[in-house]
Structure 1
Amino acid sequence: MTDPAGKLHIRLDPHGVRIDSTRPVGAASLLVGRDIAHATRLLPVLFSICAVAQAAAGAAAIEGALGLAVAPRIASRRRRLVAAETLREHLWRILLDWPGIMGEPADAAAMARVMAGYGDWRAALTAGVDLFAPGAALPAAEPAAAPAAECARRALADLGTLRVFGRPPDVWLEQVAGLEALAAWAGQTDTAAARLVHRTLTAGQAGFGRAGVGALPPLSATDLDRCLDGADPAVDAFVARPTWDGQPRESSPLTRQLEAPLVQDLRRSFGNGLLPRLAAQLVEAARIMAGAEASAAEPAPGDLPAGLGLAQVPAARGLLVHRVRLCDGRVTGYRILAPTEWNFHPAGVVAVGLAGLMAHADPVDLGPLARLFITAVDPCVDFELQLPGRPQ
């Protein structure tokens, strides 16, 4: 049965790295012709992976097209909900995938607690209001969501203390701010995350996957509209294999956390290799557990004509862009540009990083290292990896 979300096919052979995708990058066209309310309800159903980020970007894009201002309390709840979803996605990798790559059992019990805590957090923030209805507002008498949401966040922070960091996340952020402190933490802490960091350091693999692919710079609505406007075949090609200034770019937790002290220090030694990527995911998870919100999901700055809206939101795996055109209350055009297409571009950061792995890794370690590197960049869909000399 074909996976409706699509799949990445990644092949390593002596001639290089090949990445093919069956992701339905034009699926947003299914929203065309729908009225605004129907399109808003359908968005998170069509795009169920990071559905909150998708709904937030869609609502902000439609609000931009309609010229609607977002109520501050609605914007705050949307930001916190996107942050909660991002934490859930990071913990899925940290608790389930990272142990498996080391040959350890996944921490399914902890992940079950994460899912329950995320459900409580979401219920607290969405109680009594459709957060993603364009122009949504909270009634004056609406009880504050803060106490219940804060309780859910603290429960996840407690779980992070026990199963990820070995100390409170805010303390970990303060104490583990450089390579030396990270190495000491990894050698002294009995969690799968610490063991993976320790193994990566002691095996000399911290810089594996280093690639000369730059971060996606901040883009305005005008910049993005120029890429997402025009004839369908040309835009389809851009959405499937996006470039900026003629070059593949990266948009990921690593590029979001470039200013974090730990990530800055690791990059001085290892560039954008494996260990800085693992650390960036840990830093972002710790920051959310400690109470940091995601950036706002708002209409992108720039002058666009009436009826056209474009929004950006920092989804778990990178920048998510929605562009919508409305006429007489109906969607006449819809485009979505997702981070997976930047990061898994055939000549992008994963392809270049894997080529470097093939050149430097012991052939015995290539399979697990390649899977770890791909997981650290983090596609939003399943992937199939074919190694050199292995039958398809």
Structure 2
Amino acid sequence: MTAEGRVMIDLPATPGAPVGMTYLPPSDVTRLMIGKTPEEVLKIIPLVHGVCATAQTHASVLALEGALGIKPPKQTLSARQTLTMMECLREHVLRAIIDWPKLMGQRGGVMAARQAIAFPPRFQAGFTGAEGAFGLNAEVAANLPHLAGLLDDATAFLETAVFGEAADVWLSRRGHDQLRQWAAAADTTAAWFVGWLFDTGRFGIAAFPAFGAGDTAVDATSYVRRASDPLLASLGAPAIGARFVARLVELARLPGEIRGVLIGETSAPAPLASGRGEVEAARGPLLHWARVEEGRVREYRIVPPTACNFARQGIASRCLEEIAAMDREEQQLCAHLVVNAVDPCVAYEVRAA
């Protein structure tokens, strides 16, 4: 087991039989926090979490500050939030240009991936402070011209590497037909992948409401936070294809939303007295909870979105039910699609009986 957990998917020998899924929870890294000082915990967190390390540290510092009754400056809260959002941008780009082509049996864009990986450290360089943005009660200053220029670079990069057109033009599209038109015209890996989903009939797999009255499935994916976006809402029930498109919607929105946080138009998550720190990571909502007594951490809990989405009543299990009637080859491919649509960061294995 790892600090992020692992998913095992077992395809049945008989078509129509249930697809098995086992979620192996992450190793209990919270034991490392007990008895440590909050400052020590903040050094441990990014070391044990290779996935979404910024979001993990962000949730941790909010939980610890809440438990300690600390209220950091608004500019520090904004800096943390924008750094986490930039990490989300990087992760969504990497999925679209590296992982999605692999699902089609193709190679991803290595050069574009390198550009995406460079954005978070370049963005972090726009903040100055003795302890960085994620120190307890840290004070940071933002170089707004530098950050604005970088957001301009990110916007131009997304237009070229992901959308093949201006993000606002892409966001103005509505329904399957206009999305297919984009997929056929744009020369990007994201467009090819969406077009492939449509052409192979896989875009509409598992097209059922993910949440709502009478629905017992737990959905803590990134789709949920974008479900009301006009483009996404125009696609109807959140089928597998729509879940991939949700990441593109988020990519198109993120540069503008990051600007909004930087200039104070949008508020950032703040510490809560309950010791609860919750942030939106690339794969969904991430929760840390801490109890601190006499300067030492006495209790610590982490609830990653993976634990919800791959639970017995999670959305992944519900999606896998939809592929049970397929033949073995299609089952195998669609199992990969399900995992990548729900949580592309989790380690997993698809096994055939």
Give the match for residue 299 of structure 1: 271
Amino acid in structure 2 at the alignment position of 1:164: V
TM-score in terms of structure 1 length: 0.81
Query: Which of 75, 100, 104 is equivalent to 2:77?
Result: 75
Say yes or no: does 1:32 pair with 2:49.
no
* CA contact 1:70–1:136 (8 Å) conserved in 2: yes
Give the match for residue 122 of structure 2: 120
Give the match for residue 310 of structure 1: 276
**CA 1:111 to 1:366, structure 2 compared with 1: closer, same or farther past 3 Å?**
same
Amino acid in structure 2 at the alignment position of 1:107: G
* CA contact 1:297–1:314 (8 Å) conserved in 2: no
CA distance in 1, matches of 2:129, 2:166: 29
Give the match for residue 286 of structure 1: 252
Say yes or no: does 1:276 pair with 2:239.
no
Say yes or no: does 1:374 pair with 2:343.
no
* CA contact 1:309–1:323 (8 Å) conserved in 2: yes
CA distance in 1, matches of 2:19, 2:82: 38
| Equivalent residue pairs, number | 344
> Where in structure 2 are the equivalents of 1:183-332 lying within 5 Å?
183-211=180-208, 213-214=210-211, 247-267=216-236, 271-292=237-258, 296-300=268-272, 308-332=274-298
* CA contact 2:86–2:119 (8 Å) conserved in 1: no
Q: Kindly, what percent of the aligned residue pairs are identical? A: 31
Amino acid in structure 2 at the alignment position of 1:386: R
CA distance in 2, matches of 1:299, 1:272: 33
* CA contact 2:3–2:28 (8 Å) conserved in 1: no
CA distance in 2, matches of 1:3, 1:59: 22
* CA contact 1:125–1:145 (8 Å) conserved in 2: yes
Corresponding residue SS for 1:358: coil
**CA 1:348 to 1:291, structure 2 compared with 1: closer, same or farther past 3 Å?**
closer
**CA 1:128 to 1:185, structure 2 compared with 1: closer, same or farther past 3 Å?**
farther
Query: Which of 151, 156, 159 is equivalent to 1:158?
Result: 156
**CA 1:90 to 1:320, structure 2 compared with 1: closer, same or farther past 3 Å?**
same
CA distance in 2, matches of 1:255, 1:295: 20
Say yes or no: does 1:131 pair with 2:130.
no
CA distance in 1, matches of 2:289, 2:110: 37
TM-score in terms of structure 2 length: 0.90
**CA 1:346 to 1:207, structure 2 compared with 1: closer, same or farther past 3 Å?**
same
Deviation per residue, 1:119-159 (Å, 9 max, x gap): 21122235654211121123xxx4x3222222222222222
CA distance in 2, matches of 1:150, 1:252: 29
Q: Which ranges in structure 1 are unaligned for 5 or more consecutive residues?
A: 218-244
Aligned-CA RMSD value: 2.4
* CA contact 1:266–1:275 (8 Å) conserved in 2: no
* CA contact 2:217–2:314 (8 Å) conserved in 1: yes
* CA contact 2:217–2:318 (8 Å) conserved in 1: no
CA distance in 1, matches of 2:267, 2:281: 10
**CA 1:103 to 1:350, structure 2 compared with 1: closer, same or farther past 3 Å?**
same
Deviation per residue, 1:182-239 (Å, 9 max, x gap): 1211111111111111122233222202355427x9xxxxxxxxxxxxxxxxxxxxxx
Q: Which ranges in structure 2 are unaligned for 5 or more consecutive residues?
A: none
